[in-house]
Amino acid sequence: MQLRLDDEDHQVAFGERLGRALAGHGRVHLTGELGTGKTTLTRGILRAYGYRGAVKSPTYTLVEPYTLEGGLVHHFDLYRLGDPEELEFIGGRDLLADEALCVIEWPERGEGWLPVPDLVVTLALAEPGRLATLEAFTDHGRAVVDRLAAASLRPGAGHDREAGRAS
């Protein structure tokens, strides 16, 4: 599934719909070059669980846990991860196994250590906006994509538009 997200507001709005579709659990990898909107998308996901504040990428602490009314969300940013061992030290294994939603920026840095994700969202520059490609790897991930696709077919749904079925 591909979506064109024309500006930051659309990026946040899509994140919020994605957050709702995830229903409070699962592992989501956000991949894409620097500045493609991974943290912005995470801000939208957190909104779905009632968080309205600013979202800072936990680049140095690797993970920021959010205990929210709507559930527990762990936001990882592995950009500065040197060695997956660091994830062991911070209790990453338990965090990932929690009945929580895990959103992981720069999952490439934890390759070989991270468990298989439910969903990979790949973001790319499509100036002036962004292109989001969703790929599911589990039943939960497939259910999430189905829910998003069904919602986008409802009249008046969403503000982002589907980028077509070319891929």
Ligand X SMILES: Nc1ncnc2c1ncn2[C@@H]1O[C@H](COP(=O)(O)OP(=O)(O)OP(=O)(O)O)[C@@H](O)[C@H]1O
Binding-site ranges for ligand X (CB under 6 A):
5, 7-8, 10-11, 32, 34-40, 57, 105, 128-130
**Partner from ligand X, Mg ion, none binding residue 54, C-beta < 5-8 Å depending on class:** none
The nearest distance, CB 99 to ligand X, in angstroms, is 26
Look up residue 123 and give its two tokens.
């973001």
The nearest distance, CB 83 to ligand X, in angstroms, is 20
Question: Of 39 and 107, which CB lies nearer to ligand X in the complex structure?
Answer: 39
**Partner from Mg ion, ligand X, none binding residue 37, C-beta < 5-8 Å depending on class:** ligand X
Q: How far apart are CA 27 and CA 64, in angstroms?
A: 15
Question: Of 36 and 92, which CB lies nearer to ligand X in the complex structure?
Answer: 36
Q: Considering the rule CB under 5 A, would residue 59 count as an interface residue with Mg ion? A: no
Which H helix or E strand runs over 141?
helix 139-153
The nearest distance, CB 139 to ligand X, in angstroms, is 28
Q: How far apart are CA 25 and CA 147, in angstroms?
A: 15
Helix (H, G, I), strand (E, B) or coil at 18: helix
> What DSSP string describes 56-92?
---TTTSEEEEEETTEEEEEEE-TT---THHHHHTTH
Question: Of 27 and 31, which CB lies nearer to ligand X in the complex structure?
Answer: 31
Q: Considering the rule CB under 5 A, would residue 57 count as an interface residue with Mg ion? A: yes
Q: Letter for the amino acid at 3? A: L
Task: Sketch the per residue contact string, 25 through 44, with Mg ion: x for CB under 5 A, - otherwise.
Answer: -------------xx-----
Look up residue 97 and give its two tokens.
């196994």
**Partner from ligand X, Mg ion, none binding residue 120, C-beta < 5-8 Å depending on class:** none
Is the separation of the CB atoms in 80 and 60 below 8 Å? yes
